[in-house]
Chain A
Amino acid sequence: MDPSEVEFLAEKETVKIIPNFSLDKIYLIGGDLGPFNPGLPVDVPVWLALNLKQRQKCRIVPPAWMDVEKLEEIRELERKEDTFAPVPSPYYMELTKLLLNYASDNIPKADEIRTLVKDIWDTRIAKLRLSADSFISQLEAHAKLDNLTLMEINTIRAFLLDSLNCMYKLRSNLQPGSSKGQFTDY
């Protein structure tokens, strides 16, 4: 799975916007959106929000969790816990990236938020690597990882699967003939 595909999925998340135009309800396959009243917040999917934002048709209201204090709390929790702490949104990384790239003027303290989210991400990825490492080194058959987001899974999936496959191959070669057998192959 491509990160861009994950991002595509994240674009389905809803976000509040304040439109500066007026439009009746629009009926889409995915559901009805609107009505849009100028000055009145309305929930729309991220893809639409970004599109409107780029056309300067709306202001985006950042999600409640996209706030320095809340993110700091989450970061602290993430650092304190050994396991994965719950994240504010299953697409927190993607949303942060999307919103900050296109609507940083609507988000107070955008830079701090970017740093904080990156910190959280780094902490989590480090944990993920660590757990992958211990998973492999302890030769466990299965592991349980809660609160992982799709993006995080996605970053490690390719590597983990490939390397496990590879290791499996190596092991299966190793076991039947023990060390001697292998040497005979060469």
Chain B
Amino acid sequence: MPCERKPMRYGHSEGHTEVCFDDSGKFIVTCGNDGDVRIWEGLDDDDPKFITVGEKAYSLALKNGKLVTASSNNTVQIHTFPDGEPDGILTRFTTNATHVTFNSSGSRVAAGSSDFMVKVVEVSDSSQQKTLRGHEAPVLSVTFDPKDDFLASSSCDGSVVVWNIEEQSQLISWPLLQKTNDVSNAKSLCRLSWQPSAAKLLAVPVETKVHLYERGTWDHVSTLSDDLQTQLINVVAWSPCGRFLAAGSVGGSLTVWDVNSKLCVERQKHEKGFTVCGLAWSPSGSQVAYTDTEGCLGLLDGLSTSTSTTQAPTKKTAKDYDDLFDDDDDDRLMDEGLSDTNSPVKKPVARDDDDDDDDFLVPATGRVRNRGAVLDDENSLDTGSLKVGWDRFGDDEDSSAAAPAAPPLVPLRPVYEGPLPTAPQKAFQPGSTPAHLTHRFMMWNSVGIVRGYNDEQDNAIDVEFHDTAVHHAMHLTNSLGHSVADLSQEAVLLACPSTDELASKLQCFHFSSWDTNKEWMVDLPPGEDVRALCLGQGWAAVATSALMLRLFSIGGVQREIFSLPGNVVCMVGHGEQLLIVYHRAPGFDGEQALGVQLLQIGGRKKQLMIGESLPLSLRSHLCWLGFTAEGTPCYVDSDGVVRMLNRSLGNTWTPVCNTRETCKSKSDHYWVVGIHENPQQLRCIPCKGSRYPPTLPRPAVAILPFKLPLCQTSTEKGLMEEQYWRSVLFHNHFSFLSSSGYEVDEDGRTQSQKEQQELLMKMFALSCKLEREFRCVELAALMTQNVVTLAIRYASRSRRMALAQRLSEIALEKANQIQEEEPEEREEEPQHAAARRPSGYEVTGGRRGRRQEEEEERGEELREEEEENAQEMETGEEAGTRNRVTASVKEAASPVIPSLTPIGKVGRANPFKVLGSGTPSSSSAQPRATNILDNMASGRKSSPLSGSAGKPNKGPVLKPLAPRAKAKTQSTLLQMTSTKKKSQEVTPPAAEQQEPAEAPPPASPADNTENKRPKTGFQLWLEENRKSITADHPDLEETDVIKEAMGRFRTLSSEERLSWTERAKGQTGDADLKKRKRADGGGGGGGGNEHGQAEADENSAKKKKSLDPSAKLSAFAFNKN
């Protein structure tokens, strides 16, 4: 039986509902928990009339223009229909009535109540009533015998009773149901139904089956069941002709049986699987209306059940292939044969001739009927069945012992019993409410609100901006019937579906345009409908029913066009990014199979995500799709789970919030309107008892926090882990933005970095307290280098030497890592900037910026310095190298330039040359020197170079460095050398930078004269091993030798390296003193003075630094309470 399941309509609030048709079949009448009776003029009625009958309406019945309702004030009342005028109270109970029903003529009403009584009342004279007593629990359901002699009722005491109305006595009672104490606890409502015309049968839903009892004999004559019916049947209803019986179950399945053949002829599933609690046939028998416990009304249309149409060709819908199982094997086979997928005609009547009577009376014998004949029939009818269902068939054969020798060769009807496909979700605009509403949001996003009105008075669209600075509010008449909209800072985009005459149109109000034409419109090709659209920065995209994606510029120029892999579900744009979600394949078992495509439109066009599948919660669909304000894709499914793209983990989706967790009631939802990563905000509208907000009263936005679903977030550890990873996740956008060339909020970035490191340190402290040293090391691996040093201090203070040792290895590793990365990334990576901080530069970021500004003004002076350098240069190999360095450094990126001067000067006291003098390393003189810090010196050597070099130049006064007279003569020489060297390899500066010897680089002239050079382990080592290197590679130049040496030094074990640094330290004398001396004795010229100042600055910075950690540590101190 083909039928169409219409989409559900929201009718009442959550709770029990009932439905019936009026006598003409024109109206559908429903009642529900909100106490209203709604009169729907067809399912598409957007504005049903309603009558308020009480606080709650439990049941209703309608006949002859009288509407009888059972309401919460314990009465059964009459209203006129369709006017809804109160027409008196029919009867009262001591508690509420549970079910009311009319008899066939409409002269009497029966009502069952929770006070265990059933009353039968004359409608015309409510004083004439009969009370049927005998139930021992609330009455579930009542039904009249069409001939008016009997009445059947079911009750929570488990019995189904037939009463003689006149005698007010129990005729028969069947204990069929489970006992409960209240209607609300009953597993099934057990709505009985009496066959209308013939009055021969009484249908009683018993668990998953329907028992049929014969009137008069009260024999259980047959059972209607369905193999796929696994849930309790709640309600049954006879078709007006009395041939078909519809049943609705707790699990939302709707089944229609042909009672004559006892075949299931139609099987439908409630679209959301809610409990069906009301069921009614239209008087014409072509429609079945049903309601669920969530207050929604649904309709099955096109049921051709009237007796006259039985011969009409019925086309099997694809769904029906599994509809054909029945308890009765023969019938099933029969049906299989008849309803073969290709068989155009179904002949129930013919079948009736063969077996109907037999089956009807003695169903048990049905099984031993001549199977062969049936199968032959089947063969003759079968045109090309598939073998899919063969196994299943075999199973059934086994179970029905009557036919052990089913011929396996017989081609069988295709039987499919795997997972059922889900209806694909329809295309929607994220941030819009359903299209059938008269007043609805067409778009609510971070820019503003587009509201659509479509009622008698008005068909209009209101556009309102959150920020009135963008544009003033607009009111547009919607003559074209636009149904989808998007809104951006630049434009409003609207589109309407095609009609018979008109093509689907796209209309754009480009309000930010600077010319006078603020509007453009485009017709889509015939047969193509707009399904989804979105706006980006300077472009608009439209997905159409022809699986096409069309791009337009915001001014209306057609741009790229490409095909989509599937039907679009929705799409969104942000800046240059376009995110499309489409149906990848049919989903099964309530799942949606969605694919996602992320494209970059604009400058660098590319596809970032190529049709990956979009992970959704089980049995849910997509509800919202969007970008965070920072440009990270995210979406929300119908289970309220918000997921965000994690670009740092190969474009995976991370659940960041479950909005349902914060809902107070089951039917409350949050309607998401926007997501911000910094600050972390989920902007959404709380909706009480619905999924989306009404337009009036104007909903208010609420903010929800994010929470990663990590384990054990109630513990301190879990809490901090969640905070840490959330922070990491929500700051991914910084790297994305900077990589795609957008401005980045550096403050926010460093802030987040700090926050993450603090959390790591806290976790570290916690693990320390818990004696989890391994975990400590793992955490340390996540830290930046400077925080590792803090961790080391913490570990050593808490006397965990083994831990401190391991941490120092990690620190060393990190230092090396940074060292390797630095040449390329010294400017880009703030992480490294942070890492450099321990070397005494607290505000690298800001300084670098300023340094660049000053660069230009300093250009001249630099040259002067250079000249001076050149002048003082010695001729020879070292000088050559050095000069090459200066030259190439000059070539290099601007930030490197500051290092030019110091390198030049340092060059004068070439580190490789003066090694032999054995001057102590000043770095080891730091008050907090430990072996690890010593090692770390190698990690920071390059930053001091650039950092401290920038510093003196940054000083308020920039004095000319040297007498100019000399410079003149030398300038040409310098020019020559530098140009000559320009062509040379760029590696020398790198080598120079990598060279670990230079902890405090800016050596003043005074220093030079004294020839006091700081020294580190590497230098010592180099000194000893230089010869062997040169022996191995005699052809190497100086810089290459150093490079080679660096490599070798690194291959040494850490212990060896430590021992070298120890030795270097051993040589350290009174570096501090010398430093001071240097600072004081800066009389060696203007330049020296400046450098001395720098040194002093650096010293103080270091001192500050040495104090800092302990202060910081105290902040991290773990409080065990």
Contacts and interface: CB of A to CB of B under 8 A. Distances in A.
A72 to B, nearest CB: 16
Contact of B467 (A38, A41, A59, A108): A38
Interface stretch (A17-25, A80-88, A153-161, A164-172): A17-25
B701 A18 contact: yes
Interface in A22-46: 22, 37-41
A48 interface: no
Given A39-B701, A40-B683, A40-B701, A20 B468 contact: yes
Contact of A21 (B446, B467, B696, B703): B467
Given A39-B446, A40-B683, A21 B701 contact: no
B467 A20 contact: yes
Interface of A: 16, 18, 20-22, 37-41, 56-57, 59, 61, 108
A39 B683 CA distance: 10
A38 B697 contact: no
A40 B703 contact: yes
Contacts of B649: none
B893 interface: no
Interface in B651-705: 683, 696-698, 700-703
B405 interface: no
Contact of A39 (B466, B697, B702): B466
Q: Which of B469, B700, B702 has the most chain A CB atoms inside 10 A of its CB?
A: B700
Interface string B427-457: 0000000000000000000101000000000
Nearest to A107: B697
Interface string B460-471: 000001111100
A20 B148 CA distance: 68
A16 B697 contact: no
Contact of A20 (B465, B696, B702): B465
A61 B698 CA distance: 9
Contacts of B703: 40
B686 to A, nearest CB: 12
Nearest to A35: B679
Contacts of A41: 700-702
A22 B696 CA distance: 25
B699 to A, nearest CB: 10
Given A39-B446, A40-B683, A61 B700 contact: yes
Contacts, number: 35
B664 to A, nearest CB: 14
Nearest to B469: A21
7 contacts: A21-B469, A22-B469, A38-B467, A40-B703, A41-B700, A57-B468, A61-B700
B280 to A, nearest CB: 34
B700 A16 contact: yes
A18 B683 CA distance: 13
Nearest to A37: B466
Interface in B464-499: 465-469
Instruction: State the main secondary structure of chain B at its contact with A.
Output: loop
Contacts of B446: 39
A10 to B, nearest CB: 22
A22 B700 contact: no
Interface of B: 446, 448, 465-469, 683, 696-698, 700-703
Instruction: State the main secondary structure of chain A at its contact with B.
Output: loop
A21 B700 CA distance: 16
Contacts of A22: 467, 469
A106 to B, nearest CB: 8
Q: Which of A40, A41, A61 has the most chain B CB atoms inside 10 A of its CB?
A: A40
A33 B1116 CA distance: 31
A37 B447 CA distance: 11
B465 A38 contact: yes
Given A39-B446, A40-B683, A40-B703, A21 B697 contact: no
Given A40-B701, A41-B700, A21 B468 contact: yes
A18 B697 contact: no
A57 B466 CA distance: 10
Nearest to B702: A41
Contacts of A16: 700
Contacts of B448: 39
Given A22-B469, A37-B466, A56-B468, 10 more contacts: A21-B469, A38-B467, A38-B468, A39-B467, A39-B701, A40-B466, A41-B700, A41-B702, A59-B698, A108-B697
Closest 10 CB pairs of A and B: A39-B466, A38-B467, A38-B466, A20-B468, A108-B697, A61-B700, A22-B467, A41-B700, A40-B701, A20-B467
Contacts of B465: 20, 38
Nearest to B697: A108
Contacts of A108: 696-697
Nearest to B470: A38
Nearest to A109: B697
Contacts of A37: 466
A39 B681 CA distance: 13
Contacts of B466: 20, 37-40
Contacts of A57: 468
Nearest to B676: A37
A3 to B, nearest CB: 31
A21 B467 CA distance: 5
Contacts of A21: 467-469
Nearest to B629: A37
Contacts of A40: 466, 683, 701, 703
A62 to B, nearest CB: 10
A41 B686 CA distance: 13
A170 B700 CA distance: 59
B847 to A, nearest CB: 26
A18 B467 contact: no
Nearest to B673: A39
Contacts of B697: 108
A105 to B, nearest CB: 11
Contacts of A39: 446, 448, 466-467, 701
A22 B465 CA distance: 12
A111 B683 CA distance: 31
Nearest to B696: A108
B697 to A, nearest CB: 5
A143 to B, nearest CB: 41
A20 B449 CA distance: 12
Contacts of B698: 59
Nearest to B446: A39
Contacts of B683: 40
Contacts of A59: 698
A85 to B, nearest CB: 25
Contacts of A61: 700
B702 to A, nearest CB: 8
B671 to A, nearest CB: 14
